Amino acid sequence: MAKLSAIAKVCKSKNAGPFEVTIDVMFDTREMYDKVLKSGVLCEQLFATLYNVDVKDVLFTPYPAAFAFKGTIPRRISSGDLGDTDVYGAQQHAPMLDVEIPL
C-alpha cells in the first residue's frame, strides 16, 4: 500500500465555477496511472465518502492521455459566500493525500 501523496506527481484542487470544486490527481508514468486505475480505489464512491456528498453528485473522469483522474463535487458553500473559507477551492484536495492505494 502507498499513500496517494507518495505516488502522485500532482494532487490539487480548484474551483469549477462558484458552486463546484475539481480535484485533479496526476501521475508521472503510464505504469503508475494504470496501477492506480486497476486498483479501483479512485472512483465516484471515494470522492462521495471523503467529501460527504451524494455519489450521484460526483463527476469522476479518468484521463489516460494525461495519466490523470478528475473528480468534481459540489461545494457546500458557494465560492465567496458568507462562511466560505477557501474562495479559490485551492485547499480541498487534502483528504485525498492520505488515500491508500494497493500496488
**pLDDT digit string (tens) for 13-69?**
999 999 999 999 999 999 999 999 999 999 999 999 999 999 999 999 999 999 999
The stretch 74-99 carries a mean pLDDT of 96
Residue 95's pLDDT band (cuts 50, 70, 90)? very high
CA 47 from chain centre, in angstroms, equals: 7
The total number of structural domains in the chain stands at 1
Residue 61 lies in a domain: yes
Average pLDDT of span 67-89: 96
pLDDT of residue 93: 97
| pLDDT given for residue 77 in this prediction | 94
Across the range 99-103, mean pLDDT stands at: 96
The answer to whether position 41 is within a domain reads yes
Kindly state whether residue 24 falls inside one of the protein's structural domains: yes
Question: Considering the domain boundaries, does residue 46 fall inside one?
Answer: yes
CATH number at residue 69: 3.30.70
Q: What's the pLDDT at 94?
A: 97
What's the pTM value of the predicted model, to 2 decimals?
Answer: 0.93
Residue 85, domain member (yes or no): no
Q: Would you say residue 73 lies in a domain?
A: yes
Domain interval for residue 69: 2-78+90-101
Query: What confidence score (pLDDT) does residue 74 get?
Result: 98
Q: What is the largest CA-CA distance in the chain?
A: 44
Evaluate whether residue 83 is within a structural domain. no
Q: In sequence order, what DSSP letters do the residues of the chain get, joined into one string?
A: -EEHHHH-SEEEEEESSTTEEEEEEE-SSHHHHHHHHHHT-SSHHHHHHHHT--GGG-EEEEEGGGTEEEEEEE-SS-TTSTT-S-TT-TTTTGGGGG-EE--
